[in-house]
A and B are shown apart, each in its own frame.
Chain A
Amino acid sequence: MSTLVSSRLLSAGLASARRVHPLRGAVFLVLLAMLSASAAMGQVEEAVVSGSVGFLYSHNDGQTSLQPILTPVILVPLGSHLLVETSAQLQGYIARSGGNGPYEGQFFGSLQYLQLDWAVNSHLTIVAGRFTTPFNIYGERLGPMWLHNLQDAPLIYPIGTRTSGSSNGGMIRGVVVSRPAWLLNYTVFFSALSQVENLGSGRAFGARAGVFLPRSRLELGTSYQRFLQEQHSNSYGAYFSWQPRSLPIDAKGEYAHSPQGHGYWIEAAYRFKDSGKGGLTLAKFQPVVRGQQFFRLAPGVSDLLPATDTQRVDFGLNYYPIPSVRLNASYGRQFTSERDSNYWTAEVTYHFLFPLAFWVKESK
């Protein structure tokens, strides 16, 4: 789940780290079984641990918070077609109580996904378990801390990803048609209701389809989700992702619509070309800008969307001293009919990757 949404949950007092649920034991057993199966198949050597560890400082609308975040990812191949992948987010949220009091911290964790992927062929992959809800592209592609260019999630992120950003159920996905000039992909999923702490999900059905044009490196897609609990409702979305060949720009954007509101965000990141002069390589810097608007259509209770019509613009700068480390700072200004506010963030992230069986040397 994205940092901002997690913070919103914390602020709302909905997250608690202290209760221990028996299902955590079940998750642990599943992980143990998965590793045992991998070891039995002689493939434990191929399992890897990836992820990131980071520290985020934010000063949002007068509220300062410090957030250490650890996001491990474990990948365990089973044979040539199966893969078990899992990721959790362990996060702290340290802020002044009451705005001016002493700093107090809360720590919590959530299982983002624990899924079994069966790659039948390039047209079909069957996924079962807990997975990131595939609505538009932000949650699935840009969700990890080391991937999104700005730390705050877009305002419209909660649309189509209720209730937790993850789904428990099944999903099929793949490429329908692949031609040199274009490629059509699809994803269809069903999720069951779960109110288990840290494993929550909404009862929903959804689909996503996208067309990718490799020559122009442009992807266009659309998403649909039917929320099948409480008041049944539909959410729609559209997205684009474009990396033009002539310029080192990474442009992305999304539009999402729900009965509670609709909005969009557009982001562009520019990676300088390596000048190679004077020791300062501009290629390590990446300025980012994002603009977004949200329009409230109906009041919603704990839907995590802004309460009123909102506009926001963010400016950020990423610096990569080495490829696995990123320093980021950003400033955002938010405009609403009630008040305007400033959002500052600074973050350092280290992205790691090593074999799970680190004691086994790689065979040549």
Chain B
Amino acid sequence: MQAKSNLVALALVAMSLCFAVSSRAGRQQTNAGAKGAAKVDEAAEGEKRFVTNCGRCHQPPSDIPPREAKAVLRQMRVRAMLSSEDERLILKYLAP
């Protein structure tokens, strides 16, 4: 009888652990999903700002490494009078 109780208790603990782990993983997935969506939103907003501001003189680049994008955007911030927010979002679009 005692052994049966111990087994039931162990099963309950195991189930709780499984539930807790899966719940945490779910939360993490939700957080990651939310962050990913935010990242996508920022990149989309960055593309919009690129087309509006930079598109007056430049075609969208096909591929530009992050550090090159960062330096070029610093220059464009002066030339095209971009705000720091424009600079941040366009960088998300150019080098996500």
Contact = CB atoms under 8 A, between A and B. Distances in A.
Interface of A: 45-48, 50, 75, 77, 83, 85, 117, 119, 121-122, 125, 127, 140-142, 147, 173-175, 178, 185, 214, 217, 219, 241, 243, 250, 271, 320, 322-323, 353-355, 362
A140 B68 contact: no
Contacts of A355: 65, 67-68
Interface stretch (B8-16, B20-28, B32-40, B72-80): B72-80
B57 interface: yes
Tier of interface size on chain B? 20 to 34
B3 interface: no
B83 A117 contact: no
Contacts of A147: 57-58
Contact of A174 (B52, B59, B81): B81
B57 A45 contact: no
Contacts of B61: 323
Contacts of A219: 56
Contact of A85 (B57, B64, B75): B75
22 contacts: A75-B72, A83-B78, A85-B75, A117-B78, A119-B74, A122-B81, A122-B83, A125-B77, A127-B78, A140-B79, A173-B81, A175-B81, A178-B83, A214-B52, A217-B52, A250-B56, A271-B59, A320-B59, A323-B61, A323-B62, A353-B64, A362-B66
A50 B72 contact: yes
Contacts of A217: 52, 55-56
Contacts, number: 76
A48 B67 contact: yes
Contact of A75 (B56, B74, B84): B74
Contacts of A125: 77-78, 81
B72 to A, nearest CB: 7
A122 B66 CA distance: 23
Contacts of A353: 64, 68, 72
A77 B56 CA distance: 24
A77 B71 contact: yes
Contacts of B82: 122
A184 to B, nearest CB: 10
Nearest to A356: B71
Contact of B84 (A122, A141, A241): A122
Contacts of B79: 140-141
